[in-house]
Amino acid sequence: MQAELKFEQLVDEHQSMVFSIALRMTGDRGLAEEIAQDVFLELARHLNKIVDADHARNWLRRVAVSRATDALRRRRTRATDRWVELEEKHAVEFAVGDSPLGRRVEELLKQLPEQQRSVLILRYQEELSAEEIATMLGMPVATIKSQLHRGLKLLRSKAQAELKEFVRGGESFHSVELNTAGSTE
Amino acid sequence: MNEIEQSEVEFEQELRGVFARVDAPRGLKERILAARESSAQKVLAIEMKPRRVHWHLPARIAATVLLTAGVSGALVEHHYDEQRKAEKAREQLYLALQITHHAFQHVQDRLAEKGQPHE
């Protein structure tokens, strides 16, 4: 009974964290939900090994990243399937953020390699330090720092290019609008 | 802080805002708990299920043992039969040699009686 209550409480507290990690890693709501379910079922099997709340939170983060990476690899291996392509196309339509910048960042995030993506998610969604990420993923701190730096640089350069494109498009649209308005007058 | 560093910090701040956690879909918790319940019941059902006795394997083992014993018995019997036959043939040969020896002895004795030297 105690374990049941503990499990329910952990699901309650961490479902949005696990779901968000899976969603940002995969970009697919349905898949993210499946991953979240798998992660919590695995937690149920390992519940007796969980020491405290911090341990549970870190365990869930690590397993969520790992399951999402596995799911992406599985999806890549069956990428030739037309139905999967359609499914992926559909998944791209989804956006986490409401703002245009949020939507673009989500799109750009999907273009990054899985490891860089997971490091950025753990850094900016979970607000973990490079040291904490290194401990969690079992990687050297220097590697994490370099992944963060490269990921951020790539994201920034792509975002800036998109922004310039957006501004240029907006200006031309604006000038056309003005010209049309001038001609009618 | 120069302009580049400033813009980097601002970009990181924006990212933090963009990367806020998303709410889990409605009913996810209930689905997780239901899946856990159903997986626990499956495990229980597997544990409670009486172990099915597989008779095929013991029957096969018994048949193999019987067949092996039968073949071995027949081979042993055949071996003893051959041995008995060889023993009998040896006895017959010995008897024949004895008869020959007696016959030869008898002829020799008769010749000696008649005073003829033995050649």
pLDDT in tens, B57-112: 888 899 999 999 999 999 999 999 999 999 999 999 999 999 999 999 999 999 99
Task: Return the structure tokens found at A127.
Answer: 């607000």
Task: Give the pLDDT confidence score for residue A4 in this predicted structure.
Answer: 61
- Which of A1, A5, A19 should we substitute to test contact with B (largest number of B Cβ atoms within 10 Å)? A19
pLDDT band, very low/low/confident/very high, at A178 (cuts 50, 70, 90): very low
- Which of A84, A71, A77 is closest to A21 using CA atoms? A71
Reading phi first (left if > 0) and then psi (alpha if -120 to 50, else beta), residue B50 is in beta
CB atoms within 10 A of CB B119: 4
Are B16 and A124 within 8 A, CB to CB?
Answer: yes
What average pLDDT does range A58-75 have in this prediction? 93
Q: How much is the pLDDT for B116? A: 64
User: Helix count (H) and strand count (E) of chain B?
Assistant: 3, 0
Structure tokens at A79: 């990428």
Look at B18 and A102 and tell me if their CB atoms are within 8 Å. yes
- Chain A interface includes B32 (CB < 8 A): yes
* Listed residue (A142, A43, A131, A112) closest to B15, CA to CA: A112
A1-94: CATH, from 3.40.190.10, 1.10.490.10, 1.10.1740.10, 3.30.2320.30: 1.10.1740.10
How far is it, in rounded angstroms, from Cα B29 to Cα A130?
31
Is the confidence metric ipTM above 0.85 for this complex? no
Fold of A97-185: Arc Repressor Mutant, subunit A (1.10.10)
* Residues 72-91 of chain A whose Cβ lies under 8 A from any Cβ of chain B: none
Outline where DSSP puts E strands in B10-100: none
For residue A40, list chain B residues with Cβ-Cβ distance below 8 A.
Answer: 32, 36
- Of A28, A139, A138, A151, the closest CA to residue B22 belongs to A28
| Range of weakest confidence among A48-52, A89-93, A129-133, A172-176 | A172-176
Distance of CA A76 to the CA centre of its chain: 17
List CB contacts of A106: < 8 A, sequence separation 6 or more: A24, A27, A95, A96, A97, B18
Chain A residues in contact with B34 (beta carbon < 8 A): none
Average pLDDT of chain B is 86
Give the contacts of A69 (CB within 8 A, at least 6 positions apart).
Answer: A25, A114, A118
* Phi/psi at B109 (5° precision): -65, -45
Instruction: Give the lowest-confidence range in A77-81, A152-156, A173-177, B16-20.
Output: A173-177
Full DSSP string of A134-181: HHHHT--HHHHHHHHHHHHHHHHHHHHHHHHHHHHHHHHHHHHHHHHH
User: B15: pLDDT confidence band, cut at 50, 70 and 90?
Assistant: confident
Q: What is the pLDDT of residue A172?
A: 46
Intervals of CATH 1.10.1740.10 along chain A? 1-94
- The pLDDT score that the predictor gives to residue B91 is 94
Radius of gyration in angstroms for the set of CA atoms belonging to chain A, rounded to a whole number: 21
CA atoms within 13 A on the CB side of A22: 29
CB atoms within 10 A of CB B86: 10
Alpha carbon dihedral A74, A78, A79, A80, in 10-degree steps, equals 170
Measuring CA to CA, which residue among A95, A118, A93 is closest to residue A106? A95
Given a cut of 90, is residue B42 above it in pLDDT? no
pLDDT tens digits, residue range A144-177? 999 999 888 888 887 777 666 655 655 444 443 4
User: Do the Cβ atoms of A124 and B12 come closer than 8 Å?
Assistant: yes
pLDDT value for A180:
40
CATH 1.10.10.10 range(s) for chain A read 97-185
Q: How many CA atoms lie within 13 A of A153 on its CB side?
A: 6
Question: Between the CA of residue B72 and those of B64, B66, B77, B79, B80, what are the distances in Å?
Answer: 12, 10, 8, 10, 12
Q: Which of B18, B23, B31 to mutate to test the interface with A (most CBs of A within 10 A)?
A: B18
